[in-house]
Structure 1
Amino acid sequence: MTAHGSIAPGRETMTRIFPDSARVAFTAAYPDQAVALTHGLAGHPLLSLEALADLAERMPAERVEYNLGALPLGVDPADMPANGLTLGETIRTIETNGSWAVLKNVERDPTYGALLEQALVELEPLVARRTGAMLHREAFIFLTSPGSVTPFHMDPEHNILLQIRGSKTMTVFPARDEELVPARKSEDFHNGGHRNLSWRDDFMARGVPVPLEPGDAIHVPVKAPHFVRNGPAVSVSLSVTWRSERSVAEGELHSFNALLRRWKMPVGTVTARPERQMARRFVYRVMRKLGA
């Protein structure tokens, strides 16, 4: 069942990363609904703290983000507090240092790239029938201290988050709700703005909390707002993501609207099937090539 109702998929013996039950649930929900899944990567040696600390220390600084983890649900990106530690120290002592860290684009490391491909190849035929080819495949690893909070935000990709170690609860909200994500925020986001969103306490009633333990996963639709509260132990999560013609089209149309708004011209509606809005996308691409 989707994240708009009770979510309790069964477990089964797994010979692949995603068992049959998870692929069936994913097929029913993709691409528009959040849904709980299961996976077989919990305890994988590449996802231990020591292996991840080694990975982080050989990654470029621009592909790593880390800060203190005790944050409010709504926080300005400029106010994200540093923890005063090196990245390696942050990961190796994350049980006690009250921090949050993300390793971005770990697929650029060949070993972790192979792990990403192993996961996505199982879902590729299911995705292709709904949104076409899997584009721009990426992987992210999140490490969080006990009690940490990932603030209210959205992401531009199709995303499956796999819980590897520890527990957390992700509260997921509907995509395309303009009270949660106003049109101008989408326009700014697709032109390089930050993923964090403004929070109001009355939003809470629209979210569905999804508890995640090792072996659990969740599919999060493109730009579905969510926040995460970590449990009482260190958490490690792997996020496998991809783009599609639909997600690319949505970005193009919001960028086009931002351009029209700057010119004080009427903006257009971005529909639930933006890939079909071919005329507007064509105009935007022509204008972009002309340097508009």
Structure 2
Amino acid sequence: MTLIDPSSLPRLAACYPHAAGRLQHKLAAEPLLSHAALAEAARALPPTHVEKRVHDAEDGAAFRMSGDQRDSADAIAQGGIDAAWIMLRCIEQLPDYRALLHRLLAELAPVITPASGPVRDVKGFAFISAPGTHTPFHFDAEYNILFQIAGDKVFATYPPAPPFVDLDAREAFHVSGANMLGWEPGFAAAGQQHMLAPGDALFVPYAAPHWVHAGDTPSVSLSVTWQTRASRAEADALALNPALRRIGLPYYDPAAAARVPWLRAAASRIGQRVGLL
């Protein structure tokens, strides 16, 4: 049985890789995504890959860890927690989940591979969210499809360009991993809001800023993320920028670039190998 509704492939082809787009899936009854199975996954993962945060943070600064992290698995087993956001990070470490992620991407490969090349660095994230959870405005330097499994949510996407995400934020991510963004009231009308219910999925372009609001019931979502050769080159080119500025050479700005920065990426990788970056 396929996991992706076949009608979703033409829709993904129409938007990938530059625009957000909706898909349909058949994962709502997948045993690995039940609360019981996700609780076992939380117990099997390294403790640093299980995060529990406040569910009602207004911004990135307030999106802090919540309470005792050790009780996350028990909370998931009970169907979630009333006032917390729980993330299972890098579930591809667990063989059954790794197989599920690769099965999903194999079904999408006829669209993804011709447009951007084979997927690399596949990762998976499970989100168990309390009713009303707000995930603040942020971006992820990866391609992403979010599969809604239980509950509903609003997922708002924005272009990966100023004023929503600027070059400083893009560079900072590749130094520290910080991905939270400042929010301006004027941004509200500029986002594309996607209503997601069980069976819905959303493709999110590389580095596209977004925020998420869960609905009135507990939510479970699965994110499958990946890189491509071009996205890795973009990351390497951004990592080179500080060194270029120090010596007065032009730096790379993905919002203004028309081509993949292959030469800059190669120079960056050499600099990283010899310890210059």
Structure 2 CA distance, aligned partners of 1:55 and 1:172? 29
Alignment of 1:203-242 (within 5 A): 203-242=187-226
Match of 1:146 among 131, 134, 155: 131
- C-alpha distance 148-234 of structure 1, shift in aligned 2 (>3 A): same
Whether the 8 Å CA contact 2:92–2:98 is kept in 1: the answer is yes
Alpha-carbon shift at residue 159 of structure 1 (Å): 0.6
Q: Does the alignment pair 1:125 with 2:82? A: no
Whether the 8 Å CA contact 2:81–2:129 is kept in 1: the answer is no
Q: TM-score, normalised by structure 2?
A: 0.93
Q: Does the alignment pair 1:281 with 2:272? A: no
Instruction: For residue 17 of structure 1, give the secondary structure of its aligned residue in structure 2.
Output: coil
Alpha-carbon shift at residue 84 of structure 1 (Å): 3.8
Alpha-carbon shift at residue 125 of structure 1 (Å): 2.6
Q: Does the alignment pair 1:258 with 2:242? A: yes
Alpha-carbon shift at residue 196 of structure 1 (Å): 1.1
- Identity of paired residues, percent? 34
Contiguous gaps of at least 5 residues in structure 1: 1-14
Q: Does the alignment pair 1:171 with 2:151? A: no
Instruction: For residue 51 of structure 2, give the secondary structure of its aligned residue in structure 1.
Output: strand
Spell out, residue by residue over 1:207-259, the C-alpha distance to the aligned partner (whole angstroms, 9 max, x if none): 01100000000000011000100000010001111100121111111111133
Alpha-carbon shift at residue 279 of structure 1 (Å): 2.2
- C-alpha distance 215-47 of structure 1, shift in aligned 2 (>3 A): same
Q: TM-score, normalised by structure 1?
A: 0.88
Contiguous gaps of at least 5 residues in structure 2: none
Structure 2 CA distance, aligned partners of 1:62 and 1:84? 13
Whether the 8 Å CA contact 1:39–1:217 is kept in 2: the answer is yes
In structure 1, what is the equivalent of residue 99 of structure 2? 114
Instruction: For residue 163 of structure 1, give the secondary structure of its aligned residue in structure 2.
Output: strand
In structure 1, what is the equivalent of residue 166 of structure 2? 182
Instruction: For residue 85 of structure 2, give the secondary structure of its aligned residue in structure 1.
Output: strand
- C-alpha distance 264-82 of structure 1, shift in aligned 2 (>3 A): farther
Structure 2 CA distance, aligned partners of 1:211 and 1:138? 24
Give runs of ≥4 in structure 1 deviating > 4 Å: 93-96, 262-265, 271-274
Whether the 8 Å CA contact 1:170–1:227 is kept in 2: the answer is yes
In structure 2, what is the equivalent of residue 193 of structure 1? 177
